[in-house]
Structure 1
Amino acid sequence: MFIRPASVALPVFLAVSSVPAWSEPLFGSQNCAVVVAARPTLPEARAWISENGYHERARVFLSSNNWFAITVGVVAKSASEGIISNGVRRATMPSDTYCTSGSSFLKEINWRTASSGAPSTDLWGDFDARPMSVVEKRFLQGSLALAGYYSGLLDGAWGRGSQSSLEAFTRDKFNEEPSNSHAAALVIDFIVAIDSEGWEQIPMEGLAMNLMMPVKKMRLTESDGLYKQWDHSDLNLQLIANDLINSELVSVHNFAESKSVTPSDIYKVRKRTRWVTSTTDPRGLSVYVRSELIRGTWSTVFITGGSDSSNELNLMVSSISTDTFGSLIPPENSTLMTHAMKLLDEFEESKTEPEPQVGVSQSPSQPEPKSREGGTGTGFLINEDGVLLTNAHVVEECSSINVNGHRADLIVSSNIFDLAAVSVRGVDLGEPLRFASDSVGLNADITIAGYPLHGLLGGLNVSRGSISALKGLRGDETNLQISAPVQPGNSGGPAVNRFGNVVGVVVSKLNTVEIADLTGDIAQNVNFAVRGDLAKVFLMSNGINYTEANRGTEKSVEDLAQMLQSATHLIECAP
């Protein structure tokens, strides 16, 4: 949860002062700044920023009441209520966060001075956990646990055990001391695992306990009241959850102890409200049992795993908790995620040859001149709150954005993913699309929708194709290659599977003119889409709701077209 001294409340920045505040809207007439805290002195403001992990994005303003207001972004007024509500619910913002026009701010303070003692946030600098929030530290602990280097609790407290685990990881893998780039590499691997295996914090029904589980791999094989058993589809990994009385508690833990080779191999805890037994049997099978006294009975999880699942078991054990948690993945603009995005960006740049590129991708929105002249693209509805997903390049440098002629507000944009979310209030935009719960496979059938060549072609265009490759140009792992025809204006449109679930976001097409000049042949139907898994990460990290769906019943091509027609909309960008 968000850590902040309870005795210090946010002051209201409306105090009367003889010092004049800005007379013009500081953040624009339609925007406001998100205020997460205020402190009476600049050193206290700096300390708060460091403790709560806002070092990358915090701005500090001196207010007319002589307090220092800490802001973490500027958002559209119309979208501020939803953004703050999501932040509070996911414990990434304090409960008394609010949005202000800045009318009482006197000046912005440069708080990042040498005297602030701020740690380095350079990607290649020495690792420092101080700028990170509890959510970020917990995520990094989870990354280390799945890599097999951390066995403590995922509590977001970065102490000696967490640091030693990171140091062991970097020594083994890189023969180096930890840097921010090493933490970023861990995070990228963890995000890939979350996407491919479906790691989520899952509540144990009726037991007031929860733990992380790869839901795409674990199958519920037995269920009888509170008794539940899950088995991994590929690995020797089993989880049992049940509620026990005192006699059953003793029997279960004695059984676990009996599996050890020698008494010295047993780790056990026997407290009034918690019992833990951990050991390894002669065959190398790891056994872990944890029981918590809750409401008079013992909520218990029993986990066993072979050598092939030691890392997965490690993460499950570390994540067991009786507390509730918000978002698993930190916000995209957090220190940890920013480092991960920078590392991905540098990796992509390292693969680019210095000479002119062959077959550079063209964004299928209107051609992009040196100065933005406006254009059109596509977006699709993803939730009941009127939020649409599109490409970042569709809405960048727009003085205003319209969806089907209605004013839209930009919520968030990422140039790394080339994704953006916009919102439209008070307008019926149809039925939201749902994301596929599993990753799309090679040669899978897809259907795309969009508004290509708006002004020349009339209305929505729906076309079909398949997944040609699971990587984009030059092995870009953020994209899929698709064969469905793409034209200028298709940018931001959905790509759905045969069940009607989103598996990608149309983003670009191959530059066929360059290919023809260089090879003498014209490449056909070589187009790209942002992976649906990464689109979900983008939405999750920014606190935007979406829904997932399993495969279900295969839909006819006519039904798919009708579904896409309801959810897909024209986006217009005014320069």
Structure 2
Amino acid sequence: MYKDVTPDRWSRVSIEAVSKAGLMSGYPDGTFQPEKPLTREEMASILHRWMFRNGLFDDILPAVMPSIVMVHTGTNLGSGACIANDQEGSYIITNNHVVGLNTTFTLMKENSENFPGEIVVADQHNDLALIKTAKTLPPLKLAEQDPALGEPVAVIGAPAGLIESVTVGIISNLSRQGGKWLQLDAPINPGNSGGPVINERGEIVGIAVAKIVGEAFEGLGYAIKLQVVKDFLARVADKIR
């Protein structure tokens, strides 16, 4: 990212994370100058950006929400997001453990009538599934690359059946579950499973899948990585007309 920040520099990961989050930037000559002293006014500028970090998603959420659904099987509920559509409707991505053995579903949105969906394909190994609905929804874009360590993300879904709920956090680790999952500190609860994890541009960077539960644990959520999602969609591309 910066020509004076070498791959083996101890602070490289932190420098890249704060740069991608928009908290700090380099100099016009392509350097970061990591050993340069920080003035009080520069620190004030950084803290000012951090104070307004929680509003990072305000502008893009209204455009993202129309793509989000709650998936109800009759006995189980989860979340999903539209990732493609055609003349006959839309395709919703979610978790395999949300759909289970069911083949038909009730899809729900806030302040809208419920509408039906049916299974297209499920991948138990990677815990992903694709649902088709006749209702036309705007598709979300998949990000071109994985998020950076420390990058802000938002999780959107229906925890406890609370449709179109948003929680915000950062990427805490880039490789869990054998490299297939991301770790994040944004709150994830039952009902969030299958919902999208988005970046500040409203692009999908992962699919919420699990959390560690226990009194001693907090902020340990997981999402299926972007590349796993892309590989799944590539394998089932013939089913998306």
What's the TM-score once normalised by structure 2's chain length?
A: 0.63
Residue 527 of structure 1: which of 204, 216, 221 is its match?
221
Within-5 A mapping of 1:542-557: 542-543=236-237
5 Å-filtered alignment, 1:25-424, equals: 374-385=75-86, 386-398=90-102, 400-404=104-108, 405-424=114-133
Q: Which amino acid aligns with 1:413?
A: A
Residue of 438, 453, 470 corresponding to 2:145: 438
Q: Write the distance in 2 (CA, Å) between the matches of 1:544 and 1:395.
A: 21
Out of 428, 435, 460, which is 2:136 matched to? 428
Q: Which residue of 2 aligns with 1:462?
A: 166
**How far did 1:399 drift?**
5.4
1:490 correspondence with 2:198: no
Cα drift, residue 378 of structure 1: 0.4
Change over 3 Å in CA distance of 1:420–1:399 after alignment to 2: closer
1:259 aligned residue = none
Correspondence 1:536 to 2:230: yes
- Deviation at 1:407? 1.6
Hey, what's the Cα distance between the residues in 2 that align with 1:536 and 1:545?
Answer: 14
1:446 & 1:545 partners in 2: Cα distance? 30
Distance (whole Å) between structure 2 residues aligned to residue 545 and residue 499 of structure 1: 28
Q: Distance in 1 between matches of 2:84 and 2:207?
A: 16
Q: 1:544 to 1:488 in 2, by over 3 A?
A: farther
Taking the aligned partners of 1:545 and 1:444, their CA distance within structure 2 comes to 33
Q: Paired residue for 1:479?
A: 181
Distance in 1 (CA, whole Å) between partners of 2:178 and 2:228 is: 13
Give the aligned residue type for 2:136: D
Q: Which position in structure 1 is the counterpart of 2:207? A: 505
Question: Percent of pairs identical after alignment?
Answer: 29
- Are the structure 2 counterparts of residues 383 and 482 from structure 1 closer, same or farther at C-alpha, using a change threshold of 3 Å? same
- Paired with 1:545 and 1:529, the residues of 2 have a C-alpha distance of 24
Distance 1:492 1:544, change over 3 A: farther
d(CA) in 1 for partners of 2:229, 2:120: 15
Name which structure has the greater RCO, CA cutoff 8 Å, separation 6+: 2
- Specify the code of the residue in structure 1 equivalent to 2:153: I
- TM, length-normalised to structure 1: 0.27
The alignment partner of 2:105 has SS state of strand
- 1:384 positional shift: 2.1
Partners of 2:239 and 2:169 in 1: how far apart?
28
CA shift for structure 1 position 483: 0.7
Unaligned runs of 5+ in 2: 1-70, 109-113
* Distance in 1, Cα, partners of 2:96 & 2:103: 14
Number of matched residues? 162
Structure 2 counterpart of 1:352: none
Q: Is the 8 A contact 2:103 2:119 kept in 1?
A: no
